[in-house]
Amino acid sequence: MELKRTNHKIIAGALLMGLAVALGAMGAHALEKVLTPKNLATFKTGVHYQMLHAFGLIFLGILDKLYRDKFKIETALFTLGIILFSFNCYIYSLTNIKVFAMLIPIGGVTFIMGWLSLGLRFFKISRNYEDLSS
């Protein structure tokens, strides 16, 4: 009997996706009246990128099952990106404290590194399959 392991990436992605939906609703309804248009746009950008990368975590969880790989680097980069980019978008839009705005680009770079790492991993995986079939 095969022991099924819990896929924490899918759970984390689903929870972060639910949080993004809740924050998006809060931004659309409650914050629309209190934030400047620029700050509201920053808040919505944080929600948008959180949704994309929470879905990315779910995607990585599915890839774990298909390729029996852990995708730990990509998972860490997407998670760190959500914290550094999205969460700092939220905090900055609500407080206007500049230090939070300065962290946002670091989160963006973290997202980019996660996607590049995923692309390179699949390049290596495809090379390994080609080597096996030759």
Per-residue pLDDT tens digits for 28-76:
999 999 999 999 999 999 999 999 999 999 999 999 888 887 899 999 9
Q: 97: which DSSP letter?
A: -
Q: Residue 60's closest CA among 117, 19, 129?
A: 117
Q: 31: which DSSP letter?
A: G
H helix or E strand, kind and range, residue 39 = helix 37-67
Percentage above 70 pLDDT, the chain = 91
Express each pLDDT in 85-127 by its tens digit: 999 999 999 999 999 999 999 999 999 999 999 999 989 888 8
Our measurement of the distance from residue 102's CA atom to the centroid of its chain's CA atoms, rounded to an integer in Å, reads 19
Helix or strand or coil: residue 81?
Answer: helix
Helix or strand or coil: residue 34?
Answer: coil
pLDDT of 3 strictly over 80: no
Task: Give the span between the Cα atoms of 49 and 54, in whole angstroms.
Answer: 8
Task: Show Cβ contacts of residue 100 under 8 Å, excluding neighbours closer than 6 positions.
Answer: 88, 91, 92
